[in-house]
Amino acid sequence: MQNSFKSIAIIGKYMNPAALQHMRADLVTLAQHLQSKNIKVCIESQTAKHAQLTEFTVVSLDDIGHKADMAIVMGGDGTMLSVARSLIEAEVPLVGINRGRFGFLTDLRAEDMLLEVDRILAGEFIKEPRMLLATDVIRQGKIFHSNYALNDVVIKSGLRLIELEVSIDNMFVHKQRSDGLILSTPTGTTAYALSAGGPILHPNLEAITLVPICPHTLSNRPIAVNSTSKIEVSLVHFDEAQISFDGQYQFTLEVGDTVVVKRAEKTISLLHPSDYCYFDMLRNKLNWG
């Protein structure tokens, strides 16, 4: 199959300059390999700056959607989460090369990256859409903050239990006292939600999970709802509470705030090698027998 990717952006673990220096050689090797195939290569600006890559075209993260047909992310899942949120409007497919710890999202091994990237360029890949959550924080009747999450939106106490009221599609579900609540996409069910006792959902399921964190009532269990649902969480009482998006951006909530979570209109797409198997990945990453 003829290669349909004429321009490729490369993004390293740009939040960590020390890590970028460590993977600099791999970044250069990958960029030169792509150029040898007459592919236009551009390096994300912070990646180029901290890895001291001066011999390639530089592009800002915001402009990648206008400059590239594909983005290759070299780092860990955290880097992929950040990039996915930034590029949701661009609709650029993402390929992940794992230079982190787990690699649930960055599934290509660094030592095999040239071979695997060549397979993807030859059309031997699986394109997998992943849903995101769109969140509005309502304060005093107005939208105070809006954000996206590929993994999860987490409402969490700072000191003691917080009291929340949860409604789904304008129907009251329950009032809970707990350390917080995780609202997760299927992608995020292998992250914080899993540690809190939530189920693992296959990425092709159209669902959102609600996983309480250390609930005061032990019968308060995780539930999953259709991804078309609108979930509203009202903050009734607490001493201190925060909301976070993919564990990377957070701010303080106030009593009376309402957090409205629903599926984002757009998705991001991950490109996997053609022999990729989600269950193989789970077995390897979670050390199943």
Q: Which tokens in the block code for residue 15?
A: 């939040």
Amino acid at 45: S
Using alpha carbons, list the distances in angstroms from residue 277 to 107, 128, 274.
11, 12, 9
26 is catalytic: no
Planar angle of CA 48, 54, 56, nearest 5 degrees: 80
On the CB side of 240, how many CA atoms lie within 13 Å of its CA?
4
Determine which one of 62, 63, 77, 257 is catalytic: 77
Strands, E assignment, the chain = 7-11, 40-44, 57-59, 70-75, 94-98, 108-109, 125-130, 133-139, 142-149, 152-157, 162-168, 171-178, 180-184, 207-213, 223-226, 231-237, 241-245, 249-252, 258-263, 268-273
| Residues assigned a catalytic role | 77
